Structure 1
Amino acid sequence: MQGFALYPFDPPGDIAALRADLRAWLASNQPQDDVVSRANCWASFDPDFSRALGAAGYIGMTLPARYGGRDRHPLERYVVIEELLAAGAPVGAHWIADRQTGPLILRYGSEEQRQRYLPGIAKGELYACIGLSEPSAGSDLAAVRTSARETAEGWRVNGQKIWTTGAHLSHVMLTLVRTEEGSERNAGLSQLLIDLDTAGITIRPIIDMAGNHDFNEVFFDDVLVPHGALVGERGQGWKQVTAELGLERSGPERYLSSHALLVALIDATGPDPDPALATLIGELTAEMWTLRQLSMSTAAKLAAGEDPMVEASVVKELGNAFEQDMPRRVQAIVTSGWDDENDLAKLLRALLIASPSFSLRGGTREVIRGIIARGLGLR
């Protein structure tokens, strides 16, 4: 049994100075986007901003300096991400590359891969997507069918990925494939770094109910990629993916996706709130603070080299419940109409439409609860 344990930690360095420096930088460099774009900032694609953020040293912070990084502590990066999301900065272009792809390449990749990809990630100029879900393997990643057959020329990849965020804007996909013919479930899986301009790749948009294009279908038709595209060990893709998803599931986005709505609610309330409204604001603030402490403690375990799969899953499960429930709880008590154009009404409309998807990204709640149960020895 893996168990579950979170503990206090001492943040490294001068966190207050880091926050102050970043806030000053954002005051001079952050685009003045509309309130809904700021609330959805992790999906807002702005290459110029990402490039400027990289030049200022706020991307690839934990990477070694020899790969273009800053040799900073993971919890310092956590604070930077927290500040960027709270400010609504458009981090979508570099988001996945900085959060998942870079750390995974550093941990499992070859020296050639590190030198090829990490400097561009740290500069905010190389964008990545994650190829996991398939039409028959959405929440069940172990059912992946996309195959990669090794030949004298390289890997021949055939199959399809779906719900791939940002594939149409990315340079490279970290792709989970089945490299062992006849293997089943989580055995025989590997990861390949595939350049998305390679011949035989087709990317088709998926437009969501709000009219946004974040997701894609990606088709691989006898795509040839070099032998050196293999990340880590052949057949160890499942182990590597679970480590990667720990980075996705435990970050500050788990409690900041609906943060802008809480801020707008407080701004609209004024100094003499209705008792029911004051109670709701207090409840939401306390829940967000609790999630923040859980998330930071999990990040501290990751920084210490531990594998907090259960803890990260708990953060995601509780965070999903919080960020999905908040719009409904606010809707039940505020007086803004659906057609109003104030910030509170705009954000409430946007989040009521978007929040059902929050529990899908990074694994459904059912899958996450199964991980927690197994980790606690309950199944």
Structure 2
Amino acid sequence: MEASLQLPVSKASHSLTEFRHEVRAFIQKELDAGSFQPDCDSWLAGFSREWSMKMGEKGWVGMTFPKEYGGQGESNLKRYVVTEEMLAAGAPVAAHWIADRQTGPLLLKYGTEYQKQTFLPRICKGEVYFSIGLSEPNAGSDLANIHTKAVKESDEWLLNGSKIWTSGAHLQDYMIVLCRTEKQTEKKHEGLSQFIVDLRAKGVSIRPITLMTGEHHFNEVFFENVRLSDEMIVGELGEGWKQGMAELAFERSGPERFLSTYPLLEEMITVLKQRADADSTYAYTEIGKLVATLVTLRRMSFSIAQLLEEDQPASLVASLVKDLGNQFENTIIETARMLIESEPSTHSEQQYERLLAKAMLHSPGFTLRGGTTEILRSIVGKGLGL
């Protein structure tokens, strides 16, 4: 978008500039047509089947997937351009986000040919959506301490248990569920497996967890004797922990970890330019600090996309980016409240006040989703040999 703060282009992505302009032109056209209203946290709460299908038509969902499965066979770097521009614009990408970001890569690496043929082409079209089934009510941040179990009975599996903080499960079609398929031992990371679960199947019930904004986004999902076939096992039985951790590298590494409140930053700059009474020297010094941090985080995140492109381990750096990115998202909110006197409200007629209210009300979850700050710092510490 021409009105956007121009994000710097690194040497590695310089050849992608023309494609970036194509994506921005698409977004601007949709903005002019009133297709969406820019919002903070749009990758989490901006659910629009219509938008996801439009992106599917452009080939911008599952674009790194092989062409034989409906993708474009493009690089992670080109995909990064799309995700970055969508987040900067506050576009409603939540419907396909998880399927595109991590479910697709998970199935490509561990899934059966049946699973790839069944799900990947529909993901690429932007017409089938997935949620994540990891956290449980009584497990806290210890993902391995789960009690959801799948027990083999004749030629089927019976799934029982529950998952919490399941983003968009009431709107999604399927969930990748991490569960115990073997008796727990002292090595609790062992004996876990992943299943694809139809969220409309008999025995699945979804209870809403309402946010302070009044939005229904998170859920608690219950499984009561849900019948699953062997065809729905992802990868190898007992290898669920290893597979899930590989999946989390995709979840923690993207630009959504520091661009969730970018629309607020952009609108803050717009408001400051319009206010003649603003202390411009102080205000733009603070804005300069934010932009400098943004550039640094973006370069770090872009380097992770390069690691993923080269099939290199990225979990350590991804954890670091997520931790720093969450701090940055909150700093944008703090700076906005300090520089501009306003009355934030999700019902305000002023876009700045709406964005600020949304960011403030969503901010408690920044350091929780995708792994708490404590867990991330533990991963970084262990990776550094501390």
> What is the rounded CA distance, in whole Å, between the counterparts of 2:52 and 2:235 in structure 1?
28
> What is the rounded CA distance, in whole Å, between the counterparts of 1:201 and 1:22 in structure 2?
38
Return the match for 2:165 from 154, 163, 166: 163
Match of 2:315 in 1: 309
Match of 1:90 in 2: 92
> What is the rounded CA distance, in whole Å, between the counterparts of 1:337 and 1:78 in structure 2?
35
> Is 1:286 aligned to residue 287 of structure 2?
no
Deviation at 1:341, TM superposition (A): 4.2
Return the match for 2:244 from 241, 245, 266: 241
Q: Does the CA-based 8 Å contact 1:9-1:300 persist in structure 2?
A: no
Q: Does the CA-based 8 Å contact 1:12-1:73 persist in structure 2?
A: no
> What is the rounded CA distance, in whole Å, between the counterparts of 2:188 and 2:11 in structure 1?
40
> What is the rounded CA distance, in whole Å, between the counterparts of 1:354 and 1:32 in structure 2?
24
Q: Which amino acid aligns with 2:15?
A: D
Deviation at 1:344, TM superposition (A): 2.1
> What is the rounded CA distance, in whole Å, between the counterparts of 1:329 and 1:9 in structure 2?
27
Match of 2:226 in 1: 223
Deviation at 1:204, TM superposition (A): 1.1
- After TM superposition, the score normalised by the length of structure 2 is 0.92
Secondary structure (helix, strand or coil) at the match of 1:281 reads: helix
Q: Does the CA-based 8 Å contact 1:41-1:90 persist in structure 2?
A: yes
Q: Which amino acid aligns with 1:15?
A: L
Secondary structure (helix, strand or coil) at the match of 1:93 reads: helix
* Structure 2 counterparts to residues 105-124 of structure 1, below 5 A: 105-124=107-126
Match of 2:56 in 1: 54
1:75-102 residue CA offsets vs partner (Å, 9 max, x unmatched): 1001111011111211111111111101
Segments of 5+ residues of structure 1 without an aligned counterpart are 1-7
Deviation at 1:164, TM superposition (A): 0.4
Secondary structure (helix, strand or coil) at the match of 1:222 reads: strand
Match of 1:133 in 2: 135
Q: Does the CA-based 8 Å contact 1:9-1:297 persist in structure 2?
A: no
Deviation at 1:188, TM superposition (A): 0.8
Return the match for 1:336 from 328, 342, 353: 342
> Is 1:352 aligned to residue 354 of structure 2?
no
1:154-204 residue CA offsets vs partner (Å, 9 max, x unmatched): 211110111100111111100000111233521111110111121111111
Secondary structure (helix, strand or coil) at the match of 1:50 reads: helix
Match of 1:205 in 2: 208
Q: Which amino acid aligns with 1:140?
A: D
Segments of 5+ residues of structure 2 without an aligned counterpart are 1-8
Secondary structure (helix, strand or coil) at the match of 1:181 reads: coil
1:120-161 residue CA offsets vs partner (Å, 9 max, x unmatched): 000000000000010112311010110011232221111011
Q: Does the CA-based 8 Å contact 2:30-2:36 persist in structure 1?
A: no
1:190-231 residue CA offsets vs partner (Å, 9 max, x unmatched): 110111121111111111111111111111101110011110
> What is the rounded CA distance, in whole Å, between the counterparts of 1:44 and 1:323 in structure 2?
18
Q: Which amino acid aligns with 1:188?
A: G
Match of 2:306 in 1: 300
> Is 1:16 aligned to residue 11 of structure 2?
no
> What is the rounded CA distance, in whole Å, between the counterparts of 2:119 and 2:283 in structure 1?
49
Q: Which amino acid aligns with 1:246?
A: A
Secondary structure (helix, strand or coil) at the match of 1:234 reads: coil
The 10-residue stretch of structure 1 (302-311 or 345-354) with the greater mean CA deviation from structure 2:
345-354
